[in-house]
Amino acid sequence: MGAQINAAYSSCPTTGCTLIVVPKSDGSCYDYNTPIMLAVPGKYAVLQGGGPTSEAPGTRTTAGPAGGSCLNYVPTTATSAVTLDYSPSFGGGNTPAHGIRDLILENNSCQKIGGCGSSAIGIQLGGTNSGAQNGGISNVRINGFGTGLSYLETGSQSWGMVFTGISVTNNTLGISFTGSLENISLFGGRIAANGTGISMTGNADIFAHGVSIDSNMIAGVKATSGLFSCSGCHWENESIDAPITTHYYIGSKPGY
Protein backbone atom coordinates (compact mmCIF):
# COMPACT_ATOMS: atom_id res chain seq x y z
CA MET A 1 0.00 0.00 0.00
CA GLY A 2 2.88 2.40 0.67
CA ALA A 3 4.24 1.85 -2.82
CA GLN A 4 0.77 2.29 -4.32
CA ILE A 5 0.22 5.58 -2.50
CA ASN A 6 3.64 6.81 -3.64
CA ALA A 7 2.81 5.86 -7.23
CA ALA A 8 -0.53 7.66 -7.03
CA TYR A 9 1.17 10.77 -5.64
CA SER A 10 3.76 10.62 -8.42
CA SER A 11 0.94 10.66 -11.00
CA CYS A 12 -0.81 13.66 -9.41
CA PRO A 13 -0.92 17.00 -11.24
CA THR A 14 1.95 19.32 -10.36
CA THR A 15 -0.21 21.16 -7.81
CA GLY A 16 -1.15 17.93 -6.01
CA CYS A 17 -4.25 15.80 -5.40
CA THR A 18 -6.33 13.85 -2.89
CA LEU A 19 -5.30 10.25 -2.22
CA ILE A 20 -8.12 8.03 -0.91
CA VAL A 21 -7.42 4.89 1.13
CA VAL A 22 -10.45 2.64 0.57
CA PRO A 23 -10.91 0.21 3.50
CA LYS A 24 -10.20 -3.45 2.89
CA SER A 25 -13.24 -5.64 2.30
CA ASP A 26 -12.46 -7.79 5.37
CA GLY A 27 -12.22 -4.69 7.61
CA SER A 28 -8.59 -5.20 8.63
CA CYS A 29 -5.68 -2.78 8.34
CA TYR A 30 -3.41 -2.61 5.33
CA ASP A 31 0.04 -3.89 6.30
CA TYR A 32 2.80 -2.04 4.44
CA ASN A 33 6.59 -1.78 4.45
CA THR A 34 7.41 0.99 1.95
CA PRO A 35 7.46 4.44 3.63
CA ILE A 36 4.94 6.91 2.20
CA MET A 37 6.76 9.98 0.85
CA LEU A 38 4.69 13.06 -0.02
CA ALA A 39 7.60 15.42 -0.49
CA VAL A 40 7.70 17.15 -3.89
CA PRO A 41 7.92 20.96 -3.34
CA GLY A 42 4.64 22.58 -4.44
CA LYS A 43 2.83 19.25 -4.94
CA TYR A 44 0.38 19.39 -2.03
CA ALA A 45 -1.57 16.33 -0.96
CA VAL A 46 -4.53 15.16 1.09
CA LEU A 47 -4.15 11.58 2.33
CA GLN A 48 -7.66 10.56 3.37
CA GLY A 49 -9.48 7.47 4.58
CA GLY A 50 -12.35 6.46 2.33
CA GLY A 51 -14.57 5.18 5.15
CA PRO A 52 -14.77 5.06 8.94
CA THR A 53 -12.03 3.70 11.15
CA SER A 54 -12.86 0.86 13.53
CA GLU A 55 -11.64 -0.84 16.66
CA ALA A 56 -12.55 -4.27 18.08
CA PRO A 57 -13.24 -4.74 21.80
CA GLY A 58 -10.23 -4.45 24.07
CA THR A 59 -9.60 -3.87 27.78
CA ARG A 60 -9.58 -0.83 30.02
CA THR A 61 -5.94 -0.10 29.18
CA THR A 62 -5.42 -1.87 25.84
CA ALA A 63 -7.27 -0.99 22.63
CA GLY A 64 -8.63 -3.77 20.47
CA PRO A 65 -7.37 -4.48 16.94
CA ALA A 66 -7.83 -1.55 14.56
CA GLY A 67 -9.53 -1.69 11.18
CA GLY A 68 -11.45 0.24 8.57
CA SER A 69 -9.43 3.06 7.04
CA CYS A 70 -6.24 1.86 8.66
CA LEU A 71 -2.57 1.64 7.67
CA ASN A 72 -0.27 -0.61 9.69
CA TYR A 73 3.39 0.22 9.11
CA VAL A 74 5.28 -3.00 9.84
CA PRO A 75 8.97 -1.90 10.17
CA THR A 76 10.17 -0.87 13.62
CA THR A 77 13.53 0.48 12.43
CA ALA A 78 14.43 4.19 12.39
CA THR A 79 12.27 5.05 9.38
CA SER A 80 9.15 7.20 8.90
CA ALA A 81 5.82 5.64 8.01
CA VAL A 82 4.59 8.88 6.37
CA THR A 83 6.58 11.98 5.45
CA LEU A 84 4.87 15.29 4.65
CA ASP A 85 7.43 17.69 3.20
CA TYR A 86 5.84 19.28 0.13
CA SER A 87 5.67 22.93 1.21
CA PRO A 88 8.40 24.91 -0.56
CA SER A 89 11.21 26.23 1.62
CA PHE A 90 10.01 29.76 0.84
CA GLY A 91 6.43 30.65 -0.04
CA GLY A 92 3.40 28.40 0.14
CA GLY A 93 2.84 28.82 3.85
CA ASN A 94 -0.71 30.18 3.47
CA THR A 95 -2.02 27.28 1.40
CA PRO A 96 -5.03 25.56 3.06
CA ALA A 97 -6.70 22.18 2.43
CA HIS A 98 -3.88 19.67 2.65
CA GLY A 99 -2.63 17.08 5.15
CA ILE A 100 -4.07 13.81 6.50
CA ARG A 101 -7.67 12.99 7.44
CA ASP A 102 -9.83 10.14 8.72
CA LEU A 103 -7.18 7.42 9.15
CA ILE A 104 -5.58 5.13 11.69
CA LEU A 105 -1.80 4.88 11.35
CA GLU A 106 -0.18 2.28 13.56
CA ASN A 107 3.19 0.56 13.93
CA ASN A 108 3.33 -3.22 13.85
CA SER A 109 -0.10 -3.43 15.54
CA CYS A 110 1.35 -2.14 18.84
CA GLN A 111 -1.28 -1.36 21.50
CA LYS A 112 0.82 -1.06 24.67
CA ILE A 113 1.09 1.79 27.15
CA GLY A 114 4.42 3.50 26.47
CA GLY A 115 4.87 1.78 23.11
CA CYS A 116 6.62 -1.44 22.12
CA GLY A 117 10.22 -0.27 21.78
CA SER A 118 9.99 0.75 18.13
CA SER A 119 12.42 3.25 16.58
CA ALA A 120 10.01 4.20 13.79
CA ILE A 121 8.31 7.60 13.34
CA GLY A 122 4.63 7.76 12.48
CA ILE A 123 4.35 11.11 10.66
CA GLN A 124 7.46 13.15 9.91
CA LEU A 125 6.91 16.84 9.17
CA GLY A 126 9.77 18.44 7.29
CA GLY A 127 13.20 17.12 6.46
CA THR A 128 14.32 18.92 3.31
CA ASN A 129 11.58 21.44 2.52
CA SER A 130 9.05 23.07 4.89
CA GLY A 131 6.86 20.15 5.81
CA ALA A 132 3.14 20.85 5.57
CA GLN A 133 2.95 24.54 6.51
CA ASN A 134 -0.57 25.66 7.42
CA GLY A 135 -1.87 22.13 6.77
CA GLY A 136 -4.19 20.07 8.90
CA ILE A 137 -4.27 16.60 10.42
CA SER A 138 -7.76 15.65 11.56
CA ASN A 139 -9.52 12.55 12.89
CA VAL A 140 -6.27 10.57 12.74
CA ARG A 141 -5.02 8.04 15.28
CA ILE A 142 -1.26 7.42 15.52
CA ASN A 143 -0.22 4.57 17.78
CA GLY A 144 2.66 2.24 18.59
CA PHE A 145 5.61 4.22 17.21
CA GLY A 146 8.88 5.33 18.74
CA THR A 147 7.67 8.87 17.97
CA GLY A 148 4.11 9.41 16.78
CA LEU A 149 4.51 12.89 15.24
CA SER A 150 7.91 14.43 14.65
CA TYR A 151 8.72 17.99 13.57
CA LEU A 152 12.23 18.33 12.16
CA GLU A 153 14.40 21.45 12.37
CA THR A 154 15.33 22.24 8.78
CA GLY A 155 15.76 26.03 8.79
CA SER A 156 12.27 26.66 7.36
CA GLN A 157 9.63 25.13 9.59
CA SER A 158 6.27 23.41 9.18
CA TRP A 159 4.51 26.15 11.14
CA GLY A 160 0.83 27.07 11.44
CA MET A 161 -0.52 23.52 11.42
CA VAL A 162 -3.89 22.64 12.98
CA PHE A 163 -4.61 19.25 14.57
CA THR A 164 -8.27 18.40 15.14
CA GLY A 165 -9.60 15.34 16.95
CA ILE A 166 -6.34 13.40 16.77
CA SER A 167 -5.47 10.43 19.00
CA VAL A 168 -1.75 10.04 19.69
CA THR A 169 -1.51 6.92 21.84
CA ASN A 170 0.78 4.06 22.86
CA ASN A 171 3.96 5.63 21.49
CA THR A 172 7.28 5.96 23.29
CA LEU A 173 7.03 9.71 22.53
CA GLY A 174 3.71 11.09 21.31
CA ILE A 175 4.64 14.40 19.62
CA SER A 176 8.12 15.89 19.24
CA PHE A 177 8.21 19.65 18.59
CA THR A 178 11.73 20.64 17.51
CA GLY A 179 12.63 24.01 16.11
CA SER A 180 11.14 27.51 15.96
CA LEU A 181 7.55 26.53 15.22
CA GLU A 182 4.97 29.28 15.03
CA ASN A 183 1.36 28.88 16.14
CA ILE A 184 0.63 25.15 16.27
CA SER A 185 -2.97 24.47 17.36
CA LEU A 186 -4.57 21.32 18.78
CA PHE A 187 -8.36 21.16 19.06
CA GLY A 188 -9.89 18.23 20.93
CA GLY A 189 -8.50 14.72 20.73
CA ARG A 190 -6.16 12.98 23.13
CA ILE A 191 -2.48 12.51 23.89
CA ALA A 192 -2.63 9.35 25.97
CA ALA A 193 -0.77 6.25 27.16
CA ASN A 194 2.57 7.30 25.68
CA GLY A 195 5.91 7.31 27.47
CA THR A 196 6.04 11.11 27.16
CA GLY A 197 3.01 12.78 25.60
CA ILE A 198 4.54 15.97 24.17
CA SER A 199 8.21 16.97 24.04
CA MET A 200 9.23 20.56 23.27
CA THR A 201 12.92 21.19 22.57
CA GLY A 202 12.71 24.34 20.44
CA ASN A 203 11.04 27.73 20.46
CA ALA A 204 7.62 26.45 19.48
CA ASP A 205 4.36 28.05 20.54
CA ILE A 206 1.72 25.36 21.02
CA PHE A 207 -1.93 26.18 21.77
CA ALA A 208 -4.11 23.28 22.94
CA HIS A 209 -7.89 23.58 23.35
CA GLY A 210 -10.03 20.86 24.94
CA VAL A 211 -7.35 18.17 24.62
CA SER A 212 -7.22 15.13 26.95
CA ILE A 213 -3.68 14.49 28.21
CA ASP A 214 -3.99 11.16 29.99
CA SER A 215 -1.83 8.37 31.44
CA ASN A 216 1.52 9.22 29.90
CA MET A 217 4.17 7.28 31.83
CA ILE A 218 6.92 9.93 32.17
CA ALA A 219 5.09 13.22 31.62
CA GLY A 220 2.13 14.61 29.77
CA VAL A 221 4.21 17.54 28.52
CA LYS A 222 7.99 17.94 28.89
CA ALA A 223 9.37 21.30 27.77
CA THR A 224 12.88 22.75 27.77
CA SER A 225 11.83 25.89 25.88
CA GLY A 226 8.95 27.45 23.98
CA LEU A 227 5.37 28.16 25.01
CA PHE A 228 2.65 25.63 25.83
CA SER A 229 -0.82 27.05 26.46
CA CYS A 230 -3.65 24.69 27.39
CA SER A 231 -7.26 25.89 27.62
CA GLY A 232 -10.09 23.64 28.81
CA CYS A 233 -7.79 20.61 28.76
CA HIS A 234 -8.38 17.41 30.73
CA TRP A 235 -5.44 16.02 32.72
CA GLU A 236 -5.67 12.51 34.14
CA ASN A 237 -3.60 9.43 34.99
CA GLU A 238 -4.79 5.81 35.01
CA SER A 239 -4.88 4.62 38.61
CA ILE A 240 -6.71 1.26 38.65
CA ASP A 241 -5.52 -1.29 36.09
CA ALA A 242 -2.20 0.42 35.33
CA PRO A 243 -1.32 2.79 38.20
CA ILE A 244 0.49 5.84 36.82
CA THR A 245 1.56 8.61 39.19
CA THR A 246 3.78 10.67 36.92
CA HIS A 247 3.93 14.40 36.27
CA TYR A 248 1.43 16.14 34.03
CA TYR A 249 3.91 18.85 33.07
CA ILE A 250 7.69 19.17 33.40
CA GLY A 251 9.35 22.47 32.49
CA SER A 252 13.00 23.39 32.88
CA LYS A 253 12.57 27.17 33.18
CA PRO A 254 11.41 29.15 36.24
CA GLY A 255 7.70 29.90 36.02
CA TYR A 256 6.83 26.87 33.92
pLDDT at 216: 96
Predicted structure pTM score: 0.95
CB 92, CB 125: distance < 8 Å: no
151 near 126, Cβ under 8 Å? yes
- Which residue, 99, 139, 105, is CA-closest to 122? 105
Q: Checking phi first, is residue 103 left (phi over 0); if not, alpha (psi -120 to 50) or beta?
A: beta
Q: Which domains does the chain have, with CATH numbers?
A: 2-56+64-251 (2.160.20.10)
Annotate 114-141 with three-state secondary structure. Answer: CCCCCCCEEEEECCCCCCCCCCEEEEEE
How far the first Cα of the chain sits from its last, in Å, is 44
For residue 190, give the amino acid letter.
R
- 159-180 burial code (b ≥16 CB/10 A, e <16): bbbbbbbbbbbbbbbbbbbbbe
Cα 117 from Cα 86, distance rounded (Å): 30
Question: Which of 60-85 are b and which e, b meaning 16 or more Cβ less than 10 Å from the residue's Cβ?
Answer: ebebebbbbbbbbbebbeeebbbbbb
Instruction: Give CA–CA dist 128/37, Å, rounded.
Output: 12
pLDDT at residue 241, rounded to an integer = 85
Q: According to the model, what pLDDT value does residue 79 have?
A: 98
Residue 172 has a pLDDT of: 98
**pLDDT in the model for residue 255:** 45
- Given this model, what pLDDT does residue 256 score? 43
Per-residue pLDDT of the chain (256 residues; tens, 9 = 90+): 999 999 999 999 999 999 999 999 999 999 999 999 999 999 999 999 999 999 999 888 888 899 999 999 999 999 999 999 999 988 777 888 999 999 999 999 999 999 999 999 999 999 899 999 999 999 999 999 999 999 987 666 788 999 999 999 999 999 999 878 889 999 999 999 999 999 998 888 999 999 999 999 999 999 988 899 999 999 999 988 888 988 999 987 644 4
Whether residue 76 contacts residue 84, with contact meaning beta carbons closer than 8 Å, is answered with: no
For the chain, the residue count is 256
Angle at 103 between CA 100 and CA 105, to 5 degrees: 95
SS3 content of the chain, % helix, strand, coil (to 5): 5, 45, 55
